């Protein structure tokens, strides 16, 4: 136990109970519904929003995280990062397997009495791109050890989405798993509908959830996924929590929203609830409203994808609309173009909402990332393009398309106080005017409603 914790601090007694078919998590005998976030930053804000739990994926800085969480009244689902077959780990290598099991047994011994510990998360998405099902025997070995040595905390394992075969593997090969964890995005509606049908009759959690994944989104002809704006994501967080998490009171004992932080994954903004400089986005206010059942006090900047438009200045008309994020936009290398954006402030006066001086507006041009990976693996950030701004005033930007042909994204962030709305529009730069001709003004319209389908 860390020295800074009181010697009287005792581990929480966490248990599961089922009454009249309804599963419930209990903490020290009292119902405890998980209003959780995946991440370890901005914990004071998480508490302010009504959150009560954080989730880690591994044990890096586990003591510090547990201590800090305890000091703020938060609990922790402590993750054990079981090595993945797709990263080269061989579950036929008995020596390596036993070494990993012994390591995590020592982790159980080290942290099982910490008062902030809620449960053990044994493995995350070990089923992603795998073939060797012996990984479940390793997860079982650790889960069994928890049950033998730690009577205060349940066990959980997490799969990438929900698949009937993985449910059966866990039931048969890892019977000491108490709670099923599902990471799911656009397919979240299928979890409450299918998990019982697939054979899992115990409690479950949604251990990652958020906007549509980049693999689930519509793409441009050059295969760039179209990202939802901060407003569209905020709406999705609200709808999915109400319809597919909170609504299943029989079996779902809570969730961990993703990501309480920021990371580069497909783009700089796709999954993070915060920006790279720690500004909160629209979805944080949505969580505040969901968990506290009241609106946050500060007006929120909001921005739809269709509010960010690009116009060509290279045609006879003063401006020719090329489109928004849902359109296939092609620009001539070095051409002059205009982008306009129309943000607004929720619950603010119309005068304040329409006044550019109420906001701080930032434009950024990035090459399309060439380091896209799967499963949340670490990616390098996309290269930023400099010198593209010709003139920026109020809600309008005049910019020059890059001279290098290729795929790009124009990002805009709208900041009000410490809150940010954002959107980006992908476009392709073609080499010469002769290559583009009038085709630059012909674009394919994508169905924006597809963003709202879980």
What three-state secondary structure class fits 44?
A: helix
Arch. (CATH architecture) of 301-448: Sandwich (2.60)
Instruction: Check if 14-292 and 301-448 are the same fold.
Output: no
Q: Any idea where the domains of the chain sit in the sequence?
A: 14-292, 301-448
Nearest to 210 by CA among 160, 272, 147, 267: 272
Q: Note the pLDDT of residue 8.
A: 60
The predicted-structure confidence for 395-449, as pLDDT tens digits, reads as follows 999 999 999 999 999 999 999 999 999 999 999 999 865 443 333 333 333 332 2
For 327, phi and psi rounded to 5 degrees?
A: -110, 155
The predicted-structure confidence for 265-304, as pLDDT tens digits, reads as follows 999 999 999 999 999 999 999 999 999 999 999 888 999 9
pLDDT of residue 9 exceeding 90, the answer is no
pLDDT of residue 351 exceeding 90, the answer is no
The predicted-structure confidence for 364-375, as pLDDT tens digits, reads as follows 999 999 988 888
Q: Note the pLDDT of residue 89.
A: 97
Nearest to 329 by CA among 410, 389, 390, 274: 410
Arch. (CATH architecture) of 14-292: Alpha-Beta Barrel (3.20)
Give CA–CA dist 265/373, Å, rounded: 8
Q: Note the pLDDT of residue 432.
A: 67
- Crossing angle between the packed helical segments 135-149 and 94-111, to the nearest 10 degrees: 30
Cβ neighbour number for residue 396 with a 10 Å cutoff: 14
Average pLDDT, the chain: 91
pLDDT of residue 316 exceeding 90, the answer is no
What three-state secondary structure class fits 292?
A: helix
- Crossing angle between the packed helical segments 135-149 and 164-173, to the nearest 10 degrees: 50
What the block records as the tokens of 412 is 């805009």
How much is the average pLDDT of 347-362? Answer: 86
The predicted-structure confidence for 208-232, as pLDDT tens digits, reads as follows 999 999 999 999 999 999 999 999 9
Q: Note the pLDDT of residue 317.
A: 55
Per-residue CA distances from 334 to 62, 210, 312, 314, 399 (Å): 50, 37, 12, 10, 9
What lies within 8 Å, CB to CB, of 372 at 6+ separation is 214, 266, 379
How much is the average pLDDT of 47-52? Answer: 98
In terms of pTM, does the model score above 0.75? yes
**Cβ(140)–Cβ(171) below 8 Å:** no
Give CA–CA dist 412/325, Å, rounded: 12
Q: Which of 54-58, 100-104, 119-123, 379-383 has the lowest mean pLDDT?
A: 379-383
């Amino acid at each position: 136990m860390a020295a800074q914790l009181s010697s009287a601090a005792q581990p929480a007694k966490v248990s599961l109970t089922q009454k009249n078919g309804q599963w419930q998590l209990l903490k020290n005998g009292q119902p405890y519904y998980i209003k959780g976030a995946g991440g370890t930053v901005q914990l004071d804000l998480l508490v302010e929003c009504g959150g009560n739990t954080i989730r880690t994926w591994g044990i890096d800085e586990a003591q510090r995280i547990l201590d800090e969480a305890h000091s703020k009244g938060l609990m922790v689902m402590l993750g054990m990062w079981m090595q993945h077959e797709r990263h080269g780990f061989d579950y036929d290598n008995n020596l390596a397997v036993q070494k990993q099991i012994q390591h995590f047994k020592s982790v159980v011994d080290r942290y099982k009495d910490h008062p902030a510990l809620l449960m053990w998360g044994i493995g995350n998405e070990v089923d992603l791109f795998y073939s060797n099902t012996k990984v479940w025997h390793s997860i079982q070995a650790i889960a069994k050890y928890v049950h033998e040595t730690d009577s205060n905390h349940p066990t959980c394992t997490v799969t990438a989405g929900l698949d009937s075969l993985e449910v059966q593997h866990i039931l048969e090969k890892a019977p000491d798993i108490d709670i099923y964890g599902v990471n799911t995005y656009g397919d979240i509606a299928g979890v409450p509908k299918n998990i019982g049908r697939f054979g899992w009759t115990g409690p479950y959690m949604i251990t990652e959830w958020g906007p549509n994944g980049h693999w689930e989104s519509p793409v441009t002809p050059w295969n760039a996924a179209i990202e939802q704006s901060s407003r569209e994501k905020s709406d999705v967080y609200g709808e999915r929590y109400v319809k597919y998490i909170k609504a299943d009171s029989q079996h779902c004992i809570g969730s961990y929203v993703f990501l309480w932080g920021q990371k580069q994954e497909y783009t700089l903004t796709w999954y993070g609830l915060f920006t790279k400089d720690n500004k909160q986005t629209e979805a944080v206010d949505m969580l505040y409203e969901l968990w506290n059942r009241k609106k946050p006090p500060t007006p929120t900047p909001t921005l739809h994808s269709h509010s960010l438009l690009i116009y060509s200045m290279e045609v006879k008309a003063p401006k020719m609309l090329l489109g928004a994020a849902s359109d296939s936009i092609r620009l001539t290398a070095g051409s002059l173009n205009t982008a306009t954006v129309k943000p607004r402030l929720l619950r603010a006066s119309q005068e304040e909402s329409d006044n550019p001086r109420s906001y701080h507006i930032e434009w950024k041009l990035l090459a399309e990332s060439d380091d896209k990976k799967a499963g949340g693996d670490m990616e390098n950030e996309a290269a930023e393009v400099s010198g593209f701004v010709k003139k920026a005033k109020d809600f309008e930007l005049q910019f020059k398309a890059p001279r290098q042909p290729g795929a790009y994204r124009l990002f805009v962030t709208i900041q009000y106080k410490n809150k940010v709305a954002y959107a980006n529009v992908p476009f392709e730069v073609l080499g010469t005017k002769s290559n583009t001709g009038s085709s630059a003004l012909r674009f394919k319209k994508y169905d924006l409603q597809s963003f709202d389908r879980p």
